Amino acid sequence: MRGRKELIEELRSYRPFDERERTMVGRLDTFLRSHADCFERRLAVGHVTGSAWVVDRSLRTVLLTHHRKLGKWLQLGGHADGDPDIRSVALREAVEESGLAGIVLAQHAIYDVDVHKIPARSGEPAHLHYDVRFAFFADALRVPRASAESHEVAWVPLEKVEHLSIDDSVRRLVAKTGALATRVDP
């Protein structure tokens, strides 16, 4: 995928997990069609971000970050900073935030879509992240290291994720994980 038009086209064939995600896909589609500069962080109302749901190949553990500013456990990811190749953005962010090499795309298709509000911080108004998420594999024996954006980065058994401070979108990612085994690209 390279660019806004390709992402709009890909969303057309994407099948949301539930009604909430269907709403998010609609919001992302409207946003993409309305803002040619949708990948730019300077777009004050919001911007497209890329995230990585990184699991081990057994689908038993997931790599999560305890986000320093948001104070909760999340998938790895971040700003596109003008890069319209959102898959590459997701991979870049996963590597930067975990320090792990060997993270590989599990499937080419979009894995999840979420739109969420980011609270205002010094010099930055509240805005929306239009998050496009992709599934990746990595070796759970590799030890991650936290970046400056995180308190911690850790491999977490899927059955224990619910016990962390997470949001509903992470619960949805967990719920989708079992089906990933049947959707992996060769």
| CA 96 – CA 78 distance, rounded (Å) | 10
| CA 16 – CA 29 distance, rounded (Å) | 13
| CA 113 – CA 21 distance, rounded (Å) | 7
- For residue 62, what pLDDT is reported? 98
Read off the pLDDT of residues 15-40 as tens digits, 9 standing for 90 and up: 999 999 999 999 999 999 999 999 99
pLDDT band at 158 (very low <50, low <70, confident <90, very high): very high
CATH of domain 4-183: 3.90.79.10
Is a pLDDT exceeding 60 seen at residue 1?
Answer: no
- Give the torsion sign (CA, 149, 160, 115, 113): positive
DSSP 137-148: E--TTSPP---T
In the chain, where the domains are located: 4-183
| Full-model pTM | 0.93
Is a pLDDT exceeding 70 seen at residue 136?
Answer: yes
Contact 113, 17 (CB under 8 A): no
- For residue 86, what pLDDT is reported? 96
